[in-house]
Amino acid sequence: MPDLHDATRGRLLYGADYNPEQWPEETWQEDVRLMRQAGVTTVTVGVFSWARLEPTPGAYEFGWLDRLLDLLHAHGIGVVLATPTASPPPWLGHLHPETLPRAENGTTVWYGSRNQFCPSSPTYRRHAAAITEQLAARYGAHPALVMWHINNEYGTHCWCDATAAHFRRWLRDRHGTLDGLNSAWGTAFWSQHYADWDEILPPRQAQYIRNPAQLLDFARFTSDALLECYTAEHAVVARHSPAVPVTTNHMPFWRGQDGWAWAKEQDVVALDIYPDPADALGAQHGALVQDLARSLAGGPWMLMEQAAGAVNWRPVNRPKPAGLMRLWSLQAVARGADAVCFFQWRQSRQGAEKFHSAMLPHSGPRNRVYREAAALGADLDRLGPAVAGAPVPADTALLHDWDAWWAGEQPGRPSELLDYRENVTAWHRALWEANHTTDLAHPAADLTRYRMVVIPSLYLLTDTALDNLAHYVRTGGTLVCGWFTGVADHQDRIRPGGVDARLLDVLGLAAVHQWWPLNEGETLRCTGTEDFPSSLWAEELETAGAETVARYADGDLAGLPAVTRHAYGAGAAWYLSTRPEPDALRALLTRAARAAGLRPTVEGLPAGVEAVRRGELLFLLNHGPEQAKCEVPGHWDDLLTGHRLAATVALERHGAAVLRPAAP
Ligand code: GLA
Ligand code: GLA
């Protein structure tokens, strides 16, 4: 199977979504000139071009795309060619309303925006396959083609009758019989027993809390239904161009598709990353999503979209100050990206995204954004040969699973304040601030190469995952496990005893007697080696062998253990039954890491400086508000400046260095 290397060929790809159908063809000439000047290697074309390519059913217009691909090729710019199936033309919804999604309450989601397709609709799938076949047959051997891009940010949900029929087929495959389904969904409660497959529906709007196992299966089903759409188009383009890698782009830390399942079907994992420039932790949000992308890919990945400046979909959309776009782009490269691209090349003057930034802003190439984009193109060109394909070593893994996310965030739970994404972000932040490079891993993955594994919270864990964790600790691993973990099985049945017995055994706990969620703003004091406040959640624990690292010092649980540690086999298992405030969480994870023999990537860096190793290179990235002086023992060549350095590196605000060891 082809992979990202087949597109990069030892350099870093650099470019953007290019939507030239918005402009007269004369403008294209200026576009390619300015692209060249900015060091653009690659553009993604055709993402939303269906109505232009097939203006009426079955009548194709490829002349403009022929001219465009030839023009790009003549200027040495490669093409990531998209299938346009994320935005069907109005005629499809008009002639075939059954292709339009239905919301949970049965209302139709109309055309007039984008993404209006039902993934289960046979009519949608037929039309999507037809346009994909046309594109693949026509351009599969085009010399400009470097990659296929299927659809865009899959994420549509639908509750229509075709979806219902498709859901029933999926459920038959999963559960075999109606008895199996009734048992898995616990339909004995509330008179929900199904006597006929035809009675079963996607979880539509209902009077009160809906069946959680049904909701969980529907989330799984929707991910699978979208994946079928992806693999169908992937198969078409791969048949025409078997040596060209195929991808689709995900949203930043998206909820709707099981990334572990999807990554297996993609030749290239591609992500869109949009941290808020006004967010003091924007860089950490970027790092988290970059770590996720690298982990899903198992190696280099593609930054398919980022913003050159402001987006237009937050309540307030801040541009990036000077240097930030470069800094965050280099951060992506440090964390494994072999391609750095933007949405979009030239800023729109019309349509829904006319206020979204682009590499080439409304005010033209004199704009700082374009000038910075061109400078970045030169940086990436310099870095390419040393960086492309190089691995990012990580000793720590953070366990993440969509099933646990879906099951743990349903209505009817102990606290609606538990937010899966926010919690993962908090734990990742602690490791990021301590400069421990972290992979994300599936709970059933082979964990033996990691010195430390952390679980922010995984409400659902399968038997396989639980056995895997026990094996990991028994054979010498260090596990740091957060609250509300190991509670449910694969069908969202509460484990006998409330928490799985195997996990309790590893943690040295007898039982978790009560969940003790805290209100917004409520804190508890915990005492141990150090005192710290905690919030969000607490638990009434009973230990059985674990030592108490910190206790609750006030509130209803005063005197009971809050944080525990247990020697188990050759390893150690820590348990956090509450959420320490950020400094304390960092201190606890650092302590566990040190005990596991781990050291940060570089010791003693000023706060705000991120250090990441990629291959033999050391990336230093200054996210702090002012200049930072970093002590890095040894002699180095800074690949960005060409300067030779010894031991000290001064980084300006938003400054970065990419260091290669040099002879003294
Ligand atoms: C109501 C209902 C019960 C149960 C409780 C839960 O009283 O009648 O069936 O759902 O709420 O608090
Ligand atoms: C997503 C989409 C793009 C564009 C950007 C705007 O990433 O894939 O088409 O809408 O958002 O930020």
- Kindly state if the Cβ of 16 falls inside 6 Å of ligand 2: no
Residue 95: what pLDDT?
Answer: 98
- Kindly state if the Cβ of 305 falls inside 6 Å of ligand 2: yes
Q: Is beta strand 452-455 parallel, antiparallel or unpaired with respect to 561-568? A: unpaired
**Mean per-residue pLDDT of the chain:** 98
Which residue puts its alpha carbon closest to atom 7 of ligand 2? 272
Q: How confident is the model at residue 445 (pLDDT cuts 50, 70, 90)?
A: very high
Atom of ligand 2 nearest to the CA of 274: 12
Helix axis angle for 25-37 and 63-74, nearest 10°, is 30
pLDDT digits over 93-106, tens only? 999 999 999 999 99
| Cα Rg of the chain, angstroms | 26
Contact 43, 345 (CB under 8 A): yes
* Mean pLDDT (whole number) for 416-428: 98
| Residue 208: burial class (beta carbons within 10 Å; 0-12, 13-18, 19+) | exposed
* Mean pLDDT (whole number) for 452-479: 98
pLDDT tops 90 at residue 51:
yes
* Mean pLDDT (whole number) for 347-362: 98
pLDDT tops 90 at residue 430:
yes
Q: How far apart are CA 344 and CA 63, in angstroms?
A: 23
- Bridge partners (DSSP) of residue 79 are 43, 145
Q: How far is CA 629 from CA 527, 621, 648, in A?
A: 35, 11, 7
- Counting ligands in written order, which one lies closest to the CA of residue 273? 2
- Kindly state if the Cβ of 343 falls inside 6 Å of ligand 2: yes
Question: Which residues are catalytically annotated?
Answer: 153, 305
Nearest to 270 by CA among 337, 194, 181: 337
Atom of ligand 2 nearest to the CA of 352: 10
- Kindly state if the Cβ of 272 falls inside 6 Å of ligand 2: yes
- Kindly state if the Cβ of 356 falls inside 6 Å of ligand 2: yes
* Mean pLDDT (whole number) for 216-228: 98
**515 Cα to the center of ligand 1, angstroms:** 20
**82 Cα to the center of ligand 1, angstroms:** 51
Residue 530: what pLDDT?
Answer: 85
- Kindly state if the Cβ of 455 falls inside 6 Å of ligand 2: no
SS3 16: strand
pLDDT tops 90 at residue 62:
yes
**150 Cα to the center of ligand 2, angstroms:** 14
Which residue puts its alpha carbon closest to atom 12 of ligand 2? 311
CA dihedral 242, 272, 333, 28 (to 10 degrees): 70
Nearest to 287 by CA among 299, 298, 303: 303
- Kindly state if the Cβ of 271 falls inside 6 Å of ligand 2: no
pLDDT tops 90 at residue 281:
yes
**Residue that the structure tokens 């060619």 belong to:** 81
Please give the structure tokens belonging to residue 252. 């930043």
pLDDT tops 90 at residue 257:
yes
**307 Cα to the center of ligand 1, angstroms:** 49
- Counting ligands in written order, which one lies closest to the CA of residue 412? 1
- Kindly state if the Cβ of 274 falls inside 6 Å of ligand 2: yes
- Counting ligands in written order, which one lies closest to the CA of residue 190? 1
- Kindly state if the Cβ of 291 falls inside 6 Å of ligand 2: no
- Kindly state if the Cβ of 153 falls inside 6 Å of ligand 2: yes
**519 Cα to the center of ligand 1, angstroms:** 22
Atom of ligand 2 nearest to the CA of 47: 9
- Kindly state if the Cβ of 636 falls inside 6 Å of ligand 2: no
**181 Cα to the center of ligand 2, angstroms:** 38
Mutate to test the pocket of ligand 2, among 343, 355, 359 (most ligand atoms within 8 A of CB): 343
Entry pTM:
0.98
Nearest to 573 by CA among 657, 477, 647: 477
pLDDT tops 90 at residue 115:
yes
Q: How far apart are CA 167 and CA 176, in angstroms?
A: 13
pLDDT tops 90 at residue 664:
no
3-state secondary structure 298-322: CCCEEEEECCCCCCCCCCCCCCCCC
Atom of ligand 2 nearest to the CA of 272: 7
* Mean pLDDT (whole number) for 197-210: 98
Which residue puts its alpha carbon closest to atom 3 of ligand 2? 343
Residue 615: what pLDDT?
Answer: 98
Q: How far apart are CA 373 and CA 360, in angstroms?
A: 9
Q: How far apart are CA 1 and CA 18, in angstroms?
A: 27
Q: Which residues contact 180 (CB under 8 A, 6 or more apart)?
A: none
- Kindly state if the Cβ of 86 falls inside 6 Å of ligand 2: no
Strand arrangement, sheet containing 609-614 = 609-614, 617-622, 656-661, 628-638, 644-651
Mutate to test the pocket of ligand 2, among 22, 115, 249, 272 (most ligand atoms within 8 A of CB): 272
Q: How confident is the model at residue 529 (pLDDT cuts 50, 70, 90)?
A: confident
Q: Which residues contact 171 (CB under 8 A, 6 or more apart)?
A: 181, 197, 200, 217, 221
pLDDT tops 90 at residue 625:
yes
Residue 104: what pLDDT?
Answer: 98
- Kindly state if the Cβ of 347 falls inside 6 Å of ligand 2: no
3-state secondary structure 454-509: EECCCCECCHHHHHHHHHHHHCCCEEEEECCCCCECCCCCECCCCCCHHHHHHHCE
Q: Determine what percent of the chain is predicted with pLDDT higher than 90.
A: 99
**178 Cα to the center of ligand 2, angstroms:** 42
Please tell me what DSSP assigns to residue 218.
H
- Counting ligands in written order, which one lies closest to the CA of residue 209? 1
- Counting ligands in written order, which one lies closest to the CA of residue 17? 2
Q: How confident is the model at residue 212 (pLDDT cuts 50, 70, 90)?
A: very high
Nearest to 368 by CA among 619, 654, 609, 624: 654
**Residue that the structure tokens 């004995």 belong to:** 188
Cα 45 from chain centroid (whole Å): 23
**120 Cα to the center of ligand 2, angstroms:** 24
Q: How confident is the model at residue 614 (pLDDT cuts 50, 70, 90)?
A: very high
